[in-house]
Chains A and B, each alone.
Chain A
Amino acid sequence: MKKTILILVTVIFSTLGLKAQDMTIDQVLETYFETLGQEKLSAVTSITMTGKQMAQGMEFPFKVTIKRPNKLRLEATVQGNTMVQAFDGEKGWMIAPWLGTSDPQDVGEDQIKGFKEQADIDGKLFNWKEKGYTVELIGKEDMEGTEVYKIKLTEKPEKEGEAGDVTFYFVDAENFVVLKTTAKRILRGTEVSSDSYSSNYKEVEGIIFPFSIETKMDGNSVSQIVIEEVKFNEDIDDTIFSRPEKNDESKSE
């Protein structure tokens, strides 16, 4: 039944045509948050996702746990070994046995930046003002044959005088979900740009969620993530985000 409602919403939006070029950034975002179920998402305390990541012809099962505020844990299995990446809100760490030690290691600032982004359950667009970002509606354009609103979000620069990170959001002008994000990040002085395409949106407890995300760089697919299950508000112990002294999971001595 949920699906029926969803399709009906789509039909109505498409039929009324929503003289969309006249929409302001606030209107676009408002409709987007409404479609997404942002109100419900804001009440969510944790998200647990399991799925598979495919890259270079290989497949890795993974599990991601995100908990407010700003906590993240990612586990992926490679040849029977579990790799862990985690962020406790301040510190980031990882365990990757084949990198020479099965003990947890602190990660660098670049990676912490990425963890922080992923740990934000609401996403950057929500409460952008409070988060210190600026947002701008660039306009309406064609994206692979689908009409989209292009929104530019600029963050405060890390250091005075530098450019802040920029993310472009391509929001479907008919259904108001994000079809693509283009992230431009300064990585050790060099700008790196990547495109993430979201699809297979499904409704989970009133929240619209993409179950397929493909990442491309320079137009070439570098990774594809398929989410198999999403759970909200699981009871999650904070300790899983904190860096252990030694790897408890290490089976060898």
Chain B
Amino acid sequence: MKSKNLKFWILILGLHLIFINQILSQNKVKIDYNTFGALNARHIGPAGMSGRVSALDAVDTDPRIIYIGSASGGLWKTKNGGTTFKPIFDEYTQSIGAVKIDQKNPDTVWVGTGETWVRNSVSIGNGIYKTTDGGENWKFLGLKETERIARIAIDKNNSDVVYVAALGHLWGPNKERGLYKTSDGGKTWENILYVDENTGCTDIAIDTENPNILYAAMWEFQRKAYTFNSGGKGSALYKSIDAGKTWEKLTKDLPTGILGRIAISVSSVNPNIVYALIESEKTALYRSKDKGISWEEMNKTRAVSERPFYFSNIFADPIDTNRVYKPGFGITVSDNGGKNFSGTSIEGGNFHSDLHAMYIGKKDNNLIYIGTDGGLYISADKGNTWRIARNLPLSQFYHVSADMQSPYNVYGGLQDNGSWYGPSKSPGGITNYDWKSIGFGDGFCVYSDPKDNNIIFWQYQGGEIARAYAKTNEFKSIKPYKTAEIEDLRFNWNTPVIFSRDGERMYVGSQYLYVTENKGDSWKRISPDLTTDNPQKQMQEKSGGLTIDNSTAENHCTIITINESPLDKNIIWVGTDDGNIQVTKDGGKTWANVIQNISELPVNTWCSYIEPSNFDKSTAYATFDGHYNNDMNPYIYKTTDFGKTWISLSDNNLNTNNHIIKQDFINKNLLFLGTEFGLYVSINDGKLWSKFKGNVPNVSIRDMVIHPRENDLILATHGRGILIIDDISPLRNLKEETLNSDLTFLKSNDYIINDLGMTQNFEGDDEFRGQNPPEAATITYYMKKRHIFGEMYIEIFDKDGNNIKKLPAGNRKGINKVVWRLRKKPPKVPASPQLAGFAMQGPLYPAGEYTVKLTKGEDVYESKINIKLNPNSPHSESDRIFRAKVVNQAYDLLEKLAFIDAQITDIRDKSKTEAKTASKSLSKKLNTLYDKMETLHKELVATKEGDITGEEKLREKISQLYGYIMFYKGKPTDSQVQRLKDLEKIIEQKNNYLNDLINNDLAKINKSLLNEKKSEIKIISKEDYFKED
């Protein structure tokens, strides 16, 4: 509905026509992230277990300032030693390889992107960035194709001279790798040490006295989806004495065979001492006391040799020349230059295993920061005891699901941090305490049993599935086993466990597909081997190269995605990690491999997700993730004929590999795409993709679910925890014609009255607190253009047409959300030096339909909004209606009191004023009236100034009663109801007394005032008192 002032527009249009053609050609509305406007994600954590920290640095002169680089959750900064953190890199790739502060200008920080702890699930980077203002603004400085940067070193005498150790591509050969140098602060780069297309640089160290002396470590390595290799002829340790112009390969006293990953540390106290941790047939720590000319093997125990591709780090203490740290699974330290190592912890040691980054205080070496697979830990006693930074929400989810409780819970599994579930909202915000841990190891698919909230299914790496009982904390392993007629089962690291939409069946995939209808107690195999079954890709026992590393992370030729059609339980789609798509239409009796029908897709491209349509049995969407084959192209396809033909849904807005696609279940043209670099949305069935930026960082989106009741889009991010975009229904209604309209209301969820209540907690500022959705009705509309000139506001009308609220309108381009908290304005209370805290809020308006009228300049738009009672409320409707009645009685009583007191203080003050000029006898009467009014006022209202006066007068008593009745949503107590009646009586008595005074004392005085040719005392009228402020 829209009414226009015609005259006005005719005038404008006439003049407008002159320009109109030009404007039309310019104003074709495009869909981009601004179209989604005020739709924002909430970050709900969890943060308690945090996630992998891959790099960190602190300011040497003020180590309270720490920069934390995470594996896939961006870059964070703390200025207070780890009490609070801020993400400062959300616009860029979230995978951080190296962080280096220019200690001469600590606001200058270099960040190399692309983690170099190259496990199977590692994310990717795209070059080097620099800030000169402590992280507010970043400049991209190139080296895009290096993919991973392991270390950055800055010449201490010249901040423009910077060395960058670039690993290069993990999943294939490339040329942009090795050691780079800039001499102009990053404007230009020179590759100063290059071996070959398969060898990168893992470490660079500068002699702390002579910046011309450099040490560099080269590493030959490569990963495939099915194997990893560390080591080769390219690996070696190098030294330069001319700032990188020439290099000498260091071999004297060092192992002669093939080398693997190498880490270097130069002592800043005595730079003659250099440590090199060298992976070889027998990995060992070496020490040189003459700047690398000769070396001595110090230690070759497990303390130094664990998992070199993951833990290649060695740190010389900055104060004590004999002390050297080796972080790995845990952290060990040597006090004799590396000869013997022992754990740093004597009293403590409860930190997450798998250490990747470390900082030791330069002035006080008691202070240590470590980056682990489970976040940042801080020690103030040389590694003896540790505390975690528990508000770094870096959790790396693989999958997410949601239950149907109210509020609903989300469930998911995390890289190296088990399985968790937590509420979508919680009183005061969602804290770490709200999240519950279940299971162990690496977590993946986690579900609440759709039929029984007590049962939770979880899993750990390599197909280990469990059924757990929340009440007793027991779990039962339920994985299917090999049977005589088939090969050994191959389960992926990230084995798919999927429920049918109706919750009746659960599927699990190895190379075969299994289904259970009794919660995993028995399994039925319903497919042959659906993979390529290539034996060359099944030699995981040989994976790792120099150091064998067979953790199930390279398991291959396995099923990786499964989904049953929500329209027909016999239609099941399966995607495999070696690039097959298989479909059955008869519940698994027969299968068709339809991958060859996608002719343009490179063979053996990992099928990351298959999504059967919610609207048509023969339609499905598939995403493919080529990055395992060193191919970052986006691949998305759709079939409408069971896979016989496919069309590509990829467009130029997409620039990276994809993990998941989801089709909305209401609007079939609305699609969501989770990519390595953030979330994309299409409102036209994949013809055009637009990035969704509202509070969604550039993070890897691994899984999504649309909550069937709440319409929330829940995102599993690999590095930033769970994100919730509340109520996507406005997106469902964003049609092409809407985009061209000036303003269109978009339907949102009806608001169900809810109140989370309150808690009392003082956990400190270092607790994570995920945002709740607003407890309010939401008015949503789309605008083609930002509103700048003229009025714009919203009014709410009740069913009787009363205008009950005026709200400022959102004015941005795209989707706007305006919240209406449903509260009547707070009751008027008598003025007092004490705030009446209980009366700061008005009661809620009742459930029902309300009219929303939006005025924008000359135009008026109208819509409806529905407020509903919570069907799950424990309170009967009659109780709630009774309560509302009593609350409103208390509200009215407060306002009545306020008006009585307003009259009293009015008469009081006017009496005092008149007394100054009146005759002596009248003055006396006026003063008497003044005293009576003041006495009466003090009976009604607390008048003492100060903090805890404990003073309770009628105002305070009624306010408290009003608050207590209002805060509880059900029936008030009999005592409360009786109390209200008693207070009403007292107020009535006071009012009668006041009226007596007015009719007698004041009337007499007024007569006398008139006799003395003065004007009578007029009392404030009810209308004046209650008129809108």
Contacts and interface: CB of A to CB of B under 8 A. Distances in A.
Nearest to A202: B790
B486 interface: no
Nearest to B944: A252
Interface in B908-923: 908-909
A11 B19 CA distance: 8
Interface residues on A, range: 35 or more
Contacts of B947: 100
B943 A80 contact: no
A101 interface: yes
B786 A144 contact: yes
B945 A80 contact: no
A79 B789 contact: no
B945 A79 contact: no
Given A100-B946, A199-B811, A251-B905, A81 B788 contact: no
Contact of A142 (B34, B836, B905): B34
Contact of A252 (B792, B811, B826, B833): B833
B841 interface: yes
A10 B16 CA distance: 11
A211 B11 CA distance: 26
Given A4-B8, A79-B829, A212-B811, A177 B788 contact: yes
A174 B793 CA distance: 23
Contacts, number: 119
Contacts of B382: none
A161 interface: no
A61 B1029 contact: yes
A235 B840 CA distance: 35
Which residue, A12, A80, A98, has most C-beta atoms of chain B within 10 A? Answer: A80
Contacts of A100: 945-947
A102 B945 contact: yes
Which residue, A59, A77, A202, A219, has most C-beta atoms of chain B within 10 A? Answer: A59
B22 interface: yes
A204 interface: no
B612 interface: no
B789 A179 contact: no
Interface residues of B, number: 55
Nearest to A17: B26
A54 interface: yes
A175 B833 CA distance: 47
B831 A200 contact: no
A79 B836 contact: yes
Interface in A9-27: 10-12, 14-15
B566 interface: no
B812 interface: yes
A45 interface: no
A146 B786 contact: yes
B839 interface: yes
Interface in B250-280: none
B961 interface: no
A54 B22 contact: no
Nearest to A52: B1029
A55 to B, nearest CB: 12
Nearest to B901: A80
A181 to B, nearest CB: 15
A79 B786 contact: no
Interface string A97-131: 11011100000000000000000000000000000
Contacts of A79: 826, 829, 831-832, 835-836, 839-840
Interface string A233-253: 000000000000000000111
Contacts of A217: none
Nearest to B23: A15
Interface in B874-925: 898, 902, 905, 908-909
Given A58-B840, A145-B34, A146-B786, A200 B792 contact: yes
A81 B946 contact: no
A174 B780 CA distance: 26
A202 B902 CA distance: 37
Contacts of B835: 78-79, 98
Interface string B28-50: 00001011010010000000000
Given A145-B34, A202-B789, A15 B831 contact: no
A199 to B, nearest CB: 4
Contacts of A197: 811
A58 B1029 CA distance: 14
B282 to A, nearest CB: 53
Interface in A185-214: 197, 199-202, 211-212, 214
Contacts of B62: none
Contact of B11 (A4, A58, A145): A4
Nearest to B955: A79
B756 to A, nearest CB: 14
Contacts of B338: none
A29 interface: no
A200 B813 contact: no
Contacts of B788: 172, 175, 177, 179, 199, 201
Contacts of A252: 833, 943
Nearest to A226: B808
B792 A199 contact: yes
B831 A251 contact: yes
A17 B821 CA distance: 42
Nearest to A8: B15
Given A102-B945, A212-B808, A175 B789 contact: yes
B811 A14 contact: no
Which residue, A79, A98, A253, has most C-beta atoms of chain B within 10 A? Answer: A79
Given A79-B832, A224-B808, 5 more contacts: A8-B15, A100-B945, A144-B34, A200-B791, A201-B789
11 contacts: A80-B830, A81-B831, A144-B37, A145-B34, A145-B786, A145-B812, A146-B813, A179-B788, A201-B788, A201-B790, A212-B808
Interface of A: 3-4, 6-8, 10-12, 14-15, 54, 57-59, 61, 77-81, 97-98, 100-102, 142, 144-146, 172, 175, 177, 179, 197, 199-202, 211-212, 214, 219, 224, 226, 251-253
